[in-house]
Amino acid sequence: MDHRFQWTGFDKKRLFYTQGDYGLWQCSKHCHQETYDNEETVKAMVEAQGFNIGEDGALLPPVTEAGKTDFSRLKMVVPSKLLPHCPICGEPMSMNLRADHTFVEDEGWHKAAERYHDFLRRHRGLHTVFLDLGCGSNTPGIFKYPFWQMTAEQEKAVYACINLGEAYAPMELGQKAMCIDGDIGQVLDKLSV
């Protein structure tokens, strides 16, 4: 989902990528608490493989002079000169994803966390839907468990979950939980009809 909301015009300051952001790199060795935008380098990597990037951001394979797709011209290799390295220690960069103890929570992450917690404080006690779209069991302590707890504590709160194979909630939430076991895209398509 990274950046999909932003691409539709949603204000970035209203988002909190608590688990990280595919649009950012960080040092793989965690030598410092800073992230780096990777858009231009990723575009260069894609283009170096032979793809074009459409105005809408779609990847377009090369075409022949006759206008037919020509997958044989794709290299599927990124030139080593485009591989990012940490400007501090020189080690390879990695995606800014909460995978282990090396996850970087930079200044932007902390500001977003403050905005998120402020939003929760300001809306406590109001009609609230804690919407869980595909939160699995990898790190349930980040979203799923807090959403359940806030739903249980707040009289006007509801927990709604759409998740293929992992749509569940504690029985204690009773009527305050709605879980749909299904593909998120298909469910949302049916709801929008």
CA–CA distances in Å: residue 190 to residues 8, 116, 161, 185: 21, 30, 15, 9
What pTM, to 2 d.p., does this model score?
Answer: 0.81
Which stretches does DSSP call E strand in 45-156?
52-53, 59-60, 93-97, 128-133
Which stretches does DSSP call E strand in 13-127?
20-27, 36-37, 52-53, 59-60, 93-97
The closest of 171, 26, 51 to 104, measured between CA atoms, is 26
Q: What are the tens digits of pLDDT across the range 66-120?
A: 989 999 999 989 999 999 999 999 999 999 999 889 999 999 999 999 999 999 9
The closest of 109, 105, 106, 127 to 117, measured between CA atoms, is 109
What's the pLDDT at 139?
Answer: 80
Collapsed DSSP state (helix, strand, coil) of residue 22: strand
Tokens in use for 51?
């793809």
* Residues of the chain below pLDDT 70: 1-2, 193
CA–CA distance, 57 with 166 (Å, rounded to integer) = 31
Residue holding tokens 């990723």?
42
CA–CA distance, 55 with 124 (Å, rounded to integer) = 41
